[in-house]
Chains A and B, each alone.
Chain A
């Protein structure tokens, strides 16, 4: 009999182990994998940088305290987005944040609204891209980081002492590499049991 086929990434096994076994040092990889993206996501909702950090820290601490167990990493990922979203909506209501998703707060307690759903998909894809920047070859990584910091092609060329045409091709190549990595996150398949 087939059970669900679980897609595992290289550190998804470690993430799952850390959360299910409550291993503090293992949680480092959870922070590395999720913290930044969740803060960005929260900040998009409540539009408050410091508030977003506090919110995400609280959500992660609550997961720890709740002794939650997860079957697979996708469930855990989804749970985190949901938790951040719910927390953000609560804070919008209680702290009166003025922002664009506020109107959807009450109508939707179970699922995401369509608009937030799409935004969550975007964030999740961006999160994966972000995690592979470190793997890029040195020059490509520098180009990507500088362009993220808002440098123009010319400024990057000046900063690194390379031709502006090189910046362009390397930048596109880097993002292509990151996109291809979206596939490589699917590293091995665990088939839980056949018997």
Chain B
């Protein structure tokens, strides 16, 4: 059969592009009487089938393979000849280069080095965009540390990765808000005017007054943050899409990304969860409130580290679905995850992983379980079995 391979492919190409001649059409019609061939013909016109068939093509980019080939057969002879003559000089140059280069390029290399097959993706970094009350937007990154702004007696400073609000004198009579947006692949640590500390995770927005009023402290969160609230006679309320969390002085984490269930996990103190100012539900340390998109509220006993560990630089997963784990990584490393099959999403994993490491280190640990394999191509992580 295979001596016909070229003819087969040729006829198929013409048939699929509608360019068969009359004679060829007759020839092709005969082939189509074979049910297997007929099936191929139908498949090749089915968009969903083709998309599925093309999926594994993303696993095998050709560029790196060509570079290996080029390296092997390209400049070898030239290189060898040069090497013997220039080896001494080259060694000296390399040593100087190393000495000079190490410091300045280390940071760049962290981002860029590639191992065969996989792109290396570095963890998120402190970065955010601050929108001031007057609408001005300021980039909050390590390159512009220092005094940012002074608004109505409040001094805003960014130093050593920490954004701080200082207010001298009395509480504000009119409340003005700032909005801090942390992009995917970023995080930000802010100390509010009352001394409360907030660690904001990737892909989140926190809106808060530059100076709180004298009856209540109110802020707004979309996304994920960890709070250490200063004890104070004024109650502190975190507003979020699916409900409000009311506290006095306490430490807790909130995960409230759009279109996801909201989690409030208490580490110390006491918080009350409220929905539309209706009934409130109080939890104690080690408990969590889940506010479902459906409107249902549930109290659970959890291991807080699993939900707030990220703030201390560690991800703790206990019997968690791969899909949930990867959702965290998508935000922190700013990547897109692609699953070869839907069933994979439900495979469960347990483990502790460092937050400030490359995604590759993370994936190697996952791969080590033998339940999943990975590929990183650009900013796409492809998972397969």
Contact = CB atoms under 8 A, between A and B. Distances in A.
Interface string A130-169: 1000000000000010011110000000000000000000
A180 B15 CA distance: 10
A184 B53 CA distance: 22
Interface stretch (B37-45, B128-136, B183-191): B37-45
Given A35-B62, A121-B12, 4 more contacts: A27-B70, A39-B60, A74-B9, A121-B5
A49 interface: yes
B339 interface: yes
Contacts of A126: 50, 53-54, 57
A40 B375 CA distance: 14
Contact of A175 (B47, B59, B60): B47
A130 B8 contact: no
> B36, B43, B65: which has the most chain A beta carbons within 10 Å?
B65
A43 interface: yes
A37 interface: yes
Nearest to B338: A149
Interface stretch (A53-61, A87-95, A99-107, A187-195): A53-61
A130 B57 contact: yes
B56 A179 contact: no
B69 A183 contact: no
Given A49-B373, A78-B5, A130-B54, A121 B62 contact: no
A31 B73 CA distance: 14
Contacts of B380: 149
A125 B57 contact: no
B321 interface: no
Interface of A: 7, 24-25, 27-28, 31-32, 35-37, 39-40, 43, 49-50, 52-53, 56-57, 60-61, 64, 74-75, 77-78, 81, 111-112, 114, 117-118, 120-122, 124-126, 128-130, 144, 147-150, 171-172, 175, 178-186
A53 B10 contact: no
B23 to A, nearest CB: 15
Contacts of A35: 60, 62, 65-66
Nearest 8 pairs between A and B by C-beta?
A183-B17, A39-B60, A35-B62, A31-B66, A182-B13, A111-B2, A182-B17, A183-B19
Given A35-B66, A78-B5, A149-B380, A185 B13 contact: yes
Contacts of A121: 5, 8-9, 12, 40
Interface string B1-31: 1110110111011101111000000000000
A65 to B, nearest CB: 9
A36 B57 contact: yes
B73 A183 contact: no
Contacts of B56: 40, 43
A121 B53 CA distance: 13
Interface residues of B, number: 52
B62 A31 contact: yes
Nearest to B43: A122
B68 interface: yes
Given A144-B51, A149-B55, A183 B13 contact: yes
B258 to A, nearest CB: 12
Given A24-B74, A112-B1, A149-B55, A129 B62 contact: no
B3 A111 contact: yes
Most chain B CB within a 10 A radius of its CB, from A64, A75, A78, A182 = A182
A94 B235 CA distance: 72
A24 B57 contact: no
A121 to B, nearest CB: 5
Interface in B65-109: 65-66, 68-70, 72-74
A61 B72 contact: yes
B118 to A, nearest CB: 11
A65 B93 CA distance: 35
B59 A149 contact: no
27 contacts: A24-B73, A25-B70, A25-B74, A28-B66, A31-B62, A32-B66, A36-B57, A37-B57, A43-B60, A53-B65, A61-B69, A81-B5, A117-B1, A118-B37, A118-B40, A120-B5, A121-B9, A125-B9, A126-B50, A129-B50, A147-B51, A148-B58, A175-B47, A179-B17, A180-B17, A183-B14, A183-B19
B17 A39 contact: no
A39 B375 CA distance: 14
B17 A181 contact: yes
A36 B12 contact: no
A35 B58 CA distance: 12
Contacts of A175: 45, 47, 50
A112 B3 CA distance: 9
B384 interface: yes
Contacts of B61: 36
A142 to B, nearest CB: 13
A141 to B, nearest CB: 13
Interface in B110-129: 117
Contacts of B19: 183
Given A148-B51, A150-B55, A183-B19, A74 B62 contact: no
